[in-house]
A and B are shown apart, each in its own frame.
Chain A
């Protein structure tokens, strides 16, 4: 037993005083007024098949998402880190290799130099990266009223709460409030920072005809695109989650055994 020679200080402790002072200051401090007219709304949480410890992609949604990217988004947005071969990778849309070869061959790619020093055009191959809509950022800006359509490869990871944000953004276009001053060439979207976005709404009912027959509602297309772009940002998501279980089970058993050994080895040690 520890014997106390002196109670110090009596009753109220320094800690209590400190916490009380902190609370008092918190109540007194000025609160920053948020600018409600331009502050972005936070997107509501949705269930995604890829969330959670066992989450995987919805294969059909990835395929539809790619179709949507190809027919709509790719007019302005690049996917510079995705090669055609990736579309056939396990854990991705998993198109058949023949299908992807055919997709790649639709594009003409400049290659070279050949043995005469000449550049030449050839059909695209599996190892080629998806073509960019613009030659460079300057051309992209010139074509879009000064705004740069960002590359979409890792866009889901480059935004807070990426999947929910992208869904809310794509489906969240609305008419601006009467007193809202919208700049030229801009569109009102309450989920975008500052609520003004250069990209006009792109998803309209039936803008694509899905090859698997799914009805192309705006909500459906937004969901498919979120799935697809989550895959482009995190192509090893399924590999990662598949490896997680064996690693964690191994670590758990090892740790339990270590605890048992610890208790056994220490059983005769008198310590506190």
Chain B
């Protein structure tokens, strides 16, 4: 919620600057004295974690770009040059690769938290939409970045994913040649992917600013999913949430450090240490773990009427992502938090299970058991958004929702009295 500014310039220079560019006031009102619900749990710390991840990625990425060569003949060797000859180059590269993996882990938790507590609902629809845009930009950026080491998986992932554009009717082949800069994935493709990868990082940073702006207009949602009723429900962002986010960030960075220092290649595919070879197709082409659910959806769809399986798969995969934009309007329930939605809570956890099952299926060959799991989970994925969400608001009887963040339901206990004052 919008709130009155409490910024007081402490020096002559601060007053001078404040009357010309009130940037310190903006920072103070956004990150120091920003009224924040006092009941946010640890699931709310992932926004801060994601921001720090993005900074780590941009800083390490800029340093890496100073030593990397975006050329089909030299890219692989330049990555090895970074690993061997650049001071702490191994650290930069392992940091960049593992942070991007953890970035996705954090964003999935962040999105599921939004889903569970109904953070996308009125009045936070634009905040959610900007988040989905960030997610799509992240997907694009991670895909482009994965191509840059120019190993076997880089090359074949680029081939598989760009070929998806070939399903566009009539102009598919022309679009492909335009994307590739030739008649297949090759040097020109690598060069433009490098350029776009660098560009997208800063687009993401820009949309993050909008995302935080859109957060600061209605303010944070909270685990109870009810509106802030007054100052008794909130505490200032600093020091309360800076310290809580700081602690959660510390734990997150320890996990990241364990990966970087002790298992830096565990999330990568060994084939990407084989230089790209257009004449040798790897046995299994699999994307990074964070794309596996969508990869499973892509391959789960059979021929549908006159639409061939490949086209239908691409449509399903795109629909799986773009459906998220409509979530605020697909959910018909007035209650935000799953705490008070007994049915939704269960469908939510099945949704989480379905996503994990899709991830597993995506890592397997699309046949037998894996294909079956992928198909059932894909059906559930779409049913969850397009059938269950719209219906639940009608058929579900929510539990009674508390009146305010400070006051318990029905005023049982002594805390009720203190909550009503102010």
Residue of B367, B410, B415 touching A3 (CB-CB under 8 A) = B410
Interface residues on B, range: 35 or more
A53–B261 Cα distance when bound, in Å, is: 8
Residue of B84, B253, B258, B396 touching A236 (CB-CB under 8 A) = B84
- Could you tell me if A258 and B247 are in contact, using CB atoms closer than 8 angstroms? yes
In this complex, what residue of B is CB-closest to A160?
Answer: B270
Which B75-128 residues have C-beta < 8 A from chain A? Answer: 77, 80, 83-84, 90-91, 94
In this complex, what residue of B is CB-closest to A239?
Answer: B90
Closest CB-CB distance, A5 to chain B, in whole Å?
6
- Could you tell me if B39 and A271 are in contact, using CB atoms closer than 8 angstroms? yes
Flag whether A180 is at the interface (Cβ < 8 A): no
Flag whether A4 is at the interface (Cβ < 8 A): yes
* B415: A residues at CB distance < 8 A: 270
* A247: B residues at CB distance < 8 A: 257, 261
Closest CB-CB distance, A90 to chain B, in whole Å?
13
Closest CB-CB distance, B407 to chain A, in whole Å?
11
> Given A236-B83, A251-B250, A258-B246, does the pair A265, B273 have CB atoms closer than 8 Å?
no
Flag whether A159 is at the interface (Cβ < 8 A): yes
Render A220-256 as a binary contact track against B, CB cut-off 8 A, 1 for contact.
Answer: 0000000000000101100111011001100110110
- Could you tell me if A14 and B343 are in contact, using CB atoms closer than 8 angstroms? yes
Flag whether B12 is at the interface (Cβ < 8 A): no
- Could you tell me if B343 and A8 are in contact, using CB atoms closer than 8 angstroms? yes
- Could you tell me if B246 and A248 are in contact, using CB atoms closer than 8 angstroms? no
* A13: B residues at CB distance < 8 A: 346
* B412: A residues at CB distance < 8 A: 1
- Could you tell me if A32 and B368 are in contact, using CB atoms closer than 8 angstroms? yes
Flag whether B397 is at the interface (Cβ < 8 A): yes
* A142: B residues at CB distance < 8 A: none
Flag whether A158 is at the interface (Cβ < 8 A): yes
* B250: A residues at CB distance < 8 A: 251, 254-255, 258-259
* B349: A residues at CB distance < 8 A: 15
Flag whether B289 is at the interface (Cβ < 8 A): no
Question: Chain A interface: which of B164-172, B184-192, B211-219, B236-244?
Answer: B236-244
Closest CB-CB distance, B89 to chain A, in whole Å?
8
- Could you tell me if A81 and B346 are in contact, using CB atoms closer than 8 angstroms? no
* B240: A residues at CB distance < 8 A: 265-266, 269
- Could you tell me if A266 and B84 are in contact, using CB atoms closer than 8 angstroms? no
A18–B84 Cα distance when bound, in Å, is: 51
Flag whether A11 is at the interface (Cβ < 8 A): no
List 29 A–B pairs whose Cβ atoms lie within 8 Å, in order of A's numbering: A2-B339, A2-B399, A2-B409, A5-B397, A14-B350, A22-B353, A25-B376, A26-B369, A29-B369, A29-B372, A53-B262, A80-B77, A81-B84, A155-B273, A235-B83, A235-B84, A236-B84, A240-B94, A240-B261, A247-B261, A248-B254, A248-B257, A255-B247, A258-B247, A265-B240, A265-B243, A269-B38, A269-B235, A270-B418
Known: A6-B397, A22-B376, A162-B270. 17 other contacts (CB 8 A): A6-B399, A13-B346, A14-B346, A15-B346, A18-B353, A32-B367, A236-B83, A236-B84, A240-B264, A241-B261, A259-B250, A261-B246, A262-B243, A266-B244, A269-B235, A269-B240, A271-B39
